[in-house]
Amino acid sequence: MSLKETVHFKWYKHLLILLFLIVCFQGSVWITSADFSQVFQNSNQMTAFLSRFIHPDFSYLPKLVEPMVKTLQMSLLGTVIGLVLAIPVSFLATTVVTENRLLSTIFRFLLGLVRTIPTLLLAALFVAVFGIGEATGVLTIAVFTFGMVSQLMFQAIETIDFGPIEAAAAVGANKMQIAIWSIAPQVLSQFASYAFYAFEVNVRASTVLGYVGAGGIGVILNSSLALLNYERVSIIILTILVTVAIVDKLSERVRRSLL
């Protein structure tokens, strides 16, 4: 095939892809009845919102300290519970430890089910069962952390060096001893990195869980939005952004030092 024919083929191919995307976009607009003109029709409301939003109510800041601390505590406790549950399950989900493909497949299937449930839906289910409060947020974060870290951990275990495992088995070590002395040291730094990453993610997620009554600063944010108190909404969002930025920075430094 000549260079000219190749270029023309790619040109037609790109044009067909572009036309396909345009058709999909137009079809989505038609199906959802999306009206983008409303964005410009409500420009006055947007201007009024921004004029109040850019003037945070700093006098409300002291009242945000306690709910923000509760949010961090909720994230930390949920992360720890999820990590404790993830450790044994991540080992059972890999054939390196169990040497039983059926058992590992069952645990991987269960982990897949846990990870497919959206966090907000999980929080709503726990609110319906246990009621509104920080305990619901802790349970939601724990289940989310359990699913995420278990998945990452068993994938890390699958890629370890099998030399120490074979050496331990040669001297008569049982599966528990192999897991503790041959496998765990190889994935310990990765597990610590995943733990800090999970806490970092959970701090961000916990601020949103208040929308379904799972406690924390999200409850105050939701009520302020419902009351159209945009000055307070602004300072709440600013507080969340600063807190999350600090946690992200600290977590990033710790994870870099571990890897």
Q: Give 102-126 pLDDT, tens digit per residue.
A: 888 888 888 888 888 888 888 888 8
Mean pLDDT of 222-242: 86
Tokens standing for residue 60:
């409300």
**Cα–Cα distance, 98 to 11 (Å, whole number):** 53
pLDDT, tens digit, 9 for 90 and up, residues 26-52: 888 788 777 767 666 766 777 777 777
Which tokens belong to 100?
A: 């039983």
> Is the overall model pTM greater than 0.85, yes or no?
no
Residue pLDDT, tens place only, 2-25: 555 555 556 677 788 888 888 888
In the chain, what is the greatest distance between 2 CA atoms, to the nearest angstrom? Answer: 77
Identify the pLDDT of residue 59. Answer: 87
Least confident of 22-26, 129-133, 149-153, 234-238: 129-133
Confidence of residue 151 (pLDDT cuts 50, 70, 90): confident
Other C-beta atoms within 10 Å of 153: how many? 22
Higher pLDDT, 5 or 82: 82
Output the average pLDDT for the chain: 81
Instruction: Express each pLDDT in 157-188 by its tens digit.
Output: 888 777 887 787 788 777 778 778 888 888 88
Tokens representing 19 are 């036309």
A 10 A CB-CB count for 94 gives 21
pLDDT of residue 13: 78
**The pLDDT of residue 79:** 92
Burial class (CB in 10 A: 0-12, 13-18, 19+), 95: middle
Per-residue three-class SS string for 184-197:
HHHHHHHHHHHHHH
Encode pLDDT of 184-219 as tens digits. 888 888 888 888 888 888 888 887 777 776 677 888
Enumerate residues 6+ apart whose C-beta is below 8 A from 169. Answer: 178
